[in-house]
């Protein structure tokens, strides 16, 4: 149940994002052809994206509701693993939480989608499941959310998400 609350909170946190993620295409909404007429239509075209090359990739976002980082490592065999972590700070709703999701067993394929096994820790609660992320060298987007993380330097990423407390 808590997983649903967190997923809902993340979905709410993504509200106000772009209406269409980068790379999305619109379908033709022209009226259907009448028999005997010829019409020219353009079908939606899936963007061609190559899987990530082996290496480490980091991503970051900070908006009015969520601050989060994502770091993934791609092996020579195409296996992807990593960690997604952050804080939810929805002041208007009075909801505050921190989360860490370990991403394992991800596989690159013919497109940018990577499906991971996940273990998520949210304020002491543990949930297991799976998640699909669209990963490119420049952006990362979790499936089902209007959320887009931008490429970021890996050095200091955790400190940007969880700033050290000064004493």
pLDDT digits (tens, 9 = 90+) for 67-95: 999 999 999 998 999 999 999 999 888 89
Q: How confident is the model at residue 51 (pLDDT cuts 50, 70, 90)?
A: low
Residue 160: strand, helix, or coil: helix
Extended beta strands in 24-78, E state: 55-62, 66-74
Distances (CA, A) of 55 to 16, 75, 137: 32, 7, 10
6 pLDDT above the threshold of 60: no
Confidence at residue 111, expressed as pLDDT on a 0 to 100 scale: 78
Q: Taking residues 60-65, what's their average pLDDT? A: 94
Q: Taking residues 18-30, what's their average pLDDT? A: 40
8 pLDDT above the threshold of 60: no
Distance CA 120, CA 98 (A): 10
Higher-confidence position of 49 and 16: 49
Distances (CA, A) of 124 to 33, 85, 161: 58, 14, 18
How many other C-beta atoms lie within 10 A of the C-beta of residue 124?
A: 7
List own/partner pairs for 92-97 with CB under 8 A and 24 or more apart: 93/12, 95/9, 97/6, 97/9, 97/122, 97/123
136 pLDDT above the threshold of 50: yes
Confidence at residue 101, expressed as pLDDT on a 0 to 100 scale: 96
Strands 125-135, 149-151: pairing is unpaired
Confidence at residue 156, expressed as pLDDT on a 0 to 100 scale: 96
Confidence at residue 54, expressed as pLDDT on a 0 to 100 scale: 94
52 pLDDT above the threshold of 50: yes
pLDDT, tens digit (0-9, with 9 covering 90-100), for 96-112: 999 999 999 998 777 78
Q: CA angle, 35 as apex, 33 and 36 as ends, to 5°?
A: 105
147 pLDDT above the threshold of 70: yes
What is the pTM assigned to this prediction? 0.69
Closest CA to 144 of 154, 129, 133: 133
1 pLDDT above the threshold of 60: no
């Amino acid at each position: 149940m808590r997983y649903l609350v967190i997923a809902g909170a993340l979905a709410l946190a993504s509200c106000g994002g772009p209406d269409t993620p980068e790379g999305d295409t619109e379908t033709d909404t022209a009226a259907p052809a009448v028999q005997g007429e010829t019409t020219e239509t353009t079908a939606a075209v899936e963007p061609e994206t190559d899987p990530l090359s082996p290496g480490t990739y980091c991503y970051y976002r900070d908006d009015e509701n969520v601050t989060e980082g994502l770091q993934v490592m791609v092996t020579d065999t195409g296996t992807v693993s990593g960690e997604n972590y952050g804080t939810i700070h929805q002041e208007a709703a009075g909801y505050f939480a921190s989360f860490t999701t370990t991403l394992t067993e991800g596989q690159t394929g013919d497109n940018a989608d990577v499906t991971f096994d996940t273990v998520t820790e949210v304020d002491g609660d543990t949930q297991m499941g799976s998640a699909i992320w669209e990963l490119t060298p420049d952006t990362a987007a979790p499936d089902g959310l209007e959320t887009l993380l931008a490429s970021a330097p890996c050095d200091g990423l955790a400190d940007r998400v969880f700033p050290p407390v000064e004493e």
